[in-house]
Amino acid sequence: MAPSFFNFKELRRRSRHSFRTDRSTDTSSDASNGTAPTTGSLTPPSIGQQSDPALNLQLKDQLVSPSSSSLSRPAPQPYPNGNSNRYSVSGMAGLGAPMPSGKRSPTLPVSQYSPRVTNVQENTWVYQKVLLIYGTVGDPSHQSIDGTVTVSRLDENFPPISWPVCDSHFKALVYMMPGANRLRLDFSSPKLANSGSSNPIHASYLTVHMIPPSGAPPLQLAILLAKDSPGTFDAVPARIEREGNGLETAIRKFRMAAYLWQAFTAEQMWRNKFGRRVFRFEEEWTAGTSNHRDREYGTLRSEARIHVIRTDKTLAELRDMNRAQQNPHASDAGGLYGIAADAVRDYFKPLPGQKLYVSVLLLDAHWDTHHKTIVGHAALGGSVGDLHLGVFGSHCLQSYPTSFEEVVPAFTDCTPTDTNYVGNDCNDAGCSWEAANIGIGAHLHETGHLFGLPHQESGVMLRDYVTLNRSFLSREAYSTRTRSKGGPVMQGDECTWHRLDCLRFRSHPCFRLPNDPLMSPDDSVQAWPVDGLTIMAATGVSFVEIYGERDDVCHAWIEYPAENGGIQRVLTLNEQELRGRLPEGKRKGRLKLSIKSHGGGSLDIEDYNKLCSKESCLKLPSAVPGLTKNAYRGKKLGASKMEGSQPHEFIFTSALRQDRVLSRIIFHHGLAVDGVEFVYDDDSRQLFGKRGGSSGVFDMDIRRGEYITGFHVRSGFWIDAIQVLTSLGRKSPLYGNAHGGDGHTLIPPRGYNICGVTGSCGPWVDGFSVIVTR
């Protein structure tokens, strides 16, 4: 009788269990918290001598199943030893398939030409529809090679897209879907063996996780047409024959342009150390347009929604308004912008206080061959109340790509611009790919304006979008603008968002990420001419722009990062330090500051010296006879520029006399603040502004010694609404137009109290601040 330890059933069971345990251990190494994984082509261990024949089938199923976490999502391989001379691997069975790297698997060489993504790490989290990746093939410092990188999804939910490799560098766009996006990158070149086989060996793998940031307001995309528009755009006959120039084609092209904006902006934010934060789009479930296969098979996807809006104007009325950038002195330069704003408001019907961010394509822009100008076009961006709007014409639309497969061809198409049919915008669109740059880039410029960006010294907000194509190409084509033959594109050659643009985006509500901490609803910034210049912001100061005499764009600034709990809610600015950051020739003269909060608020100080001069200081009698103390006027809200506006200012009676107590405050208001009346316990009164409209009364609790500690003010050109804050933590109602202007909270610095009010009044109050003293 055989010994008990020769129980064959038990041996068989242990063998199977041992095999599965090793496999589980391999899988864990692929997790995000595991050890440094490797990928590439490995031959599976031989299983011919396994005691359980069913293991053959089990392993086979696991190898081909896309749901297997360890095999369908390998991590990128480490870069091979640079001294190796092995640049290709001869055909080996199963070499192209991802395999586990357990102890029982033989270690086989990995191709040195497997693509290496340098800007995205394994298991990175992103928040946008389209991701821009770039990297290298081989070792560019030793040997350069051209070829093609094909990016495919392991779940085959998006067709493989090929991207050119130039001098061992490549760039590619990847379509993201919510959840884990498991990608395979294959390199092929006629100079390498086996690269064109059915089992390519120059492969690498990457997993990127995507979360849609539904907690941020979207950037809406809209196409605007006249009420009698045929819904077509300018195009040469060959283009019309090949792809059409109707509304459906316009939608596909505008959507793809918006995806390029998003991919470019997210990459720029990442390079500026702000993570891959970017604006999102409203999406709809519709026929996919991002690739050719979707159109052929009618595949439905969640794509960026393009709203189609018709105005109440005719085509002739719109085209008669020539608002192109070539004609800045037109008598009604904002005509088309106003028409677009009215149409967008009527279409979206926003609620009171709801901010809308809309980028509009004017489809009826048209190249007038007789007058050699573009009519029905406007290039403008900004805000009208709560509507943040950017508009741009469709005169370059024919050159835009409509899908991922067309991005590289669109940005390398050197077909000359035929001015018998389409315009050459600012003479910078001499060929098709340059027209795509102008159209997509200039529209992005106007979209930057709707997000609150001013012009900058460089980048998209100057006019560097003429090189926008370089962000998506590894080689540039011949340029008619510069008369250069093109060549390889390095990162330093690319178009950028300026650092100040990225700082503004960091605080913009459209760029919020799901894991961002909640911000205080008060995003305002306040300035007090005490102890130099004291700046206060509930959400913290983000950065300060410094402008010298006659500067129209910012060249110097100070950043106050919020990372690692470093938010500075109160800080003092020193004039010497501020001027020291300016060029030598700009350190004298008027000094202007623009202070930004982490919540997105802003405060402009037109003249530092004037705010901090004796004009902002006044003398108050103290409780000790013969002595005085200083009081300081805060930075005023409102423009004080209404017709008939007159200055108003007084010190509270209760601050001058100890036998007087403020008992109630009367607010006179309508759709703005007409005046504020301060009533004391002896019924004496002080009126700031004038009486008018409705009246609201707020009683102070004089028995508990309640006093004013601050005001919450909504203001823009004038004072829209006002609210008082007290020492007992109480707040009055917000009197006036509660949805007008921007919110500001006036609370004095620590150690100071409010002792009066200052400002101005015209037909109603158009300037307001407080006076503080120790």
CA contacts within 13 A on the Cβ side of 216: 27
- CA-nearest of 97, 96, 86, 92 to 60 is 97
Burial class for 441, CB neighbours closer than 10 Å (0-12, 13-18, 19+): buried
**Token reading at 269:** 């934010």
**Strand ranges (DSSP E) for 243-287?**
283-287
**Token reading at 493:** 């050659």
Report the amino acid identity of residue 34.
Answer: G
| First-residue to last-residue Cα distance in the chain | 103
Report d(CA 320, CA 740) in Å as an integer: 34
For 692, residues 6+ apart whose C-beta sits below 8 A from its C-beta are: 668, 670, 674, 675, 764
- CA-nearest of 357, 318, 354, 315 to 337 is 318
For 761, residues 6+ apart whose C-beta sits below 8 A from its C-beta are: 645, 646, 648, 675, 688, 689, 690, 767
Cα–Cα distances (Å) from 742 to 12, 74, 129, 399, in that order, read: 75, 50, 32, 40
Given the residues 122, 267, 406, 446, the one annotated as active site: 446
Q: For residues 746 and 726, is the Cβ–Cβ distance under 8 A?
A: no
Query: What is the DSSP annotation of 404-449?
Result: GGGHHHHTT--PBP-TTTS--GGG--SBHHHHHHHHHHHHHHHHHH
Place of tokens 């946008």: 128
Catalytic site residue 241?
no
Place of tokens 């199977």: 16
Q: For residues 547 and 765, is the Cβ–Cβ distance under 8 A?
A: no
For 637, residues 6+ apart whose C-beta sits below 8 A from its C-beta are: 713, 715, 719, 744, 746, 759, 767, 768, 769
- CA-nearest of 527, 463, 521 to 496 is 463
Report d(CA 219, CA 691) in Å as an integer: 42
Counting other chains too, the contacts that 239-247 makes at CB distance below 8 Å and 24 or more residues apart are 239/398, 243/402, 245/398, 247/223, 247/308, 247/363
Query: Alpha carbon 275 to chain centroid distance?
Result: 11
Q: For residues 662 and 700, is the Cβ–Cβ distance under 8 A?
A: yes
Which residues belong to the active site?
A: 446
